[in-house]
Amino acid sequence: MTEIPPAILPPETFQRRLLDWFDVHGRHDLPWQQQRTPYRVWVSEIMLQQTQVTTVIPYFERFMARFPDVAALAGAEQDEVLHLWTGLGYYARGRNLHKAARVVMDEHGGAFPVHSLEAMAALPGIGRSTAGAIIAQSTGQRAVILDGNVKRVLTRLHGVEGWPGRPAVERRLWALAEHYTPHQRVVDFTQAIMDLGATLCRRGQPDCGRCPFEADCVANARGEQKRFPESKPRKATPTRETLMLLLQDEHGRVLLQQRPSSGLWGGLWSLPQFDDMASLKAWRDQHAAGAELAACWPTFTHVFSHFRLQITPQPARVARRDSVAEGWHWYDPAEPSSIGLAAPVKGLLEALQPFTLSAPAGHADPD
């Protein structure tokens, strides 16, 4: 592996330039910057993982309205938490948020252990960088962060070769982050370096002409901004297929089942899924005898980070709900219940008004 270069700026110079830029161009009015507490900062940091600020803001505000503190979140049912998370994606974040709230209540007396980076990082869903961000942003204590925005800034500024997920590369980036993190104005510094990565040193179209480090940036000098940071070595993205059963009763309510707590859409409510029509019909014959299947709706694709899922909705209807086995949830699209729904399932449920068994043109009867 190519040797990773040392820091190219004294820490004082880096801090001064970054904070001067932040004072004029940084983001100072984000909702979680108001009434800054460990709880509010924590929720925002989890929501912001792999999600843009503009998307997070309305979710954060709804979440705070319902769960204003860690006790309220810990006392809630997981279904309600995931209901408010629906649409944000990466649902393990929501499940871990709920688990961590209960750990804070049960093991830390309702107070986040912001005195200890190790204790914060041990909470479900919180790693080293997120723990540092929560401590720095909520207390002003010096704590180093290395999220995706910071990695992008540092790899471009120093021309760091190699995928940042490789341990040797990540260690060097942590060393650079440690080198530049100040002991004063830590709240502003951590927000500033995240803002720089999010607003100027963007992944696709960096705005180098407005960057306070334009003259020193190795990637800019080489004209190779888009090469840094290097991407994870790609594997072929697999495609999976599934049939989703849209089974309605005589009143239009839809049969849902809760997914296992781990794995795809863990803990969310979904439509019954099947690998093929034979297994769907076998389930129908056992659990919903007499259900009438209509023509399948058009197949669509839902993209995950590691695979593509081709979903074919299979509408069906039962004459009476009591003909279906117990242990399921009947969801009324006209009066939605507050449960966590997988995003494509939510879209399908919204398309069920009015319900029709008429087959779309060109689709054959599955029976």
| Whether the bond into 366 is cis, omega within 30 of 0 | no
pLDDT of residue 74: 98
d(C-alpha 212, C-alpha 181), whole Å: 17
Residue matched to tokens 């803002």: 195
pLDDT of residue 324: 64
d(C-alpha 317, C-alpha 333), whole Å: 15
d(C-alpha 358, C-alpha 326), whole Å: 28
DSSP state string for 39-108: HHHHHHHHHHTTS-HHHHHHHHHHHHHH--SHHHHHTS-HHHHHHHHTTS--THHHHHHHHHHHHHHHHS
Q: 311-345 burial, b for 16+ CB within 10 Å, e for fewer?
A: bbbbbbbbeebeebeeebebbebeeeeebbbbebb
d(C-alpha 308, C-alpha 237), whole Å: 7
pLDDT of residue 181: 97
Is pTM beyond 0.85? Reply is no
d(C-alpha 260, C-alpha 269), whole Å: 9
Local mean pLDDT, 10-residue blocks, the chain (367 residues) = 69 98 96 95 96 95 97 95 90 95 98 97 96 97 97 97 94 96 97 97 94 97 94 86 92 88 84 93 87 91 87 89 69 82 84 52 44
- Going by C-beta distance under 8 Å and a sequence separation of 6 or more, which residues neighbour residue 299? 310, 311, 312
Residue matched to tokens 């997981």: 78
- Going by C-beta distance under 8 Å and a sequence separation of 6 or more, which residues neighbour residue 177? 144, 145, 146, 150, 154
Catalytic residues, by residue number, are 45
d(C-alpha 44, C-alpha 52), whole Å: 11
CB neighbourhood size of 205 (10 A): 9
pLDDT of residue 319: 81
DSSP state string for 96-152: HHHHHHHHHHHHSTTS--TT-HHHHHTSTT--HHHHHHHHHHHH--------HHHHH
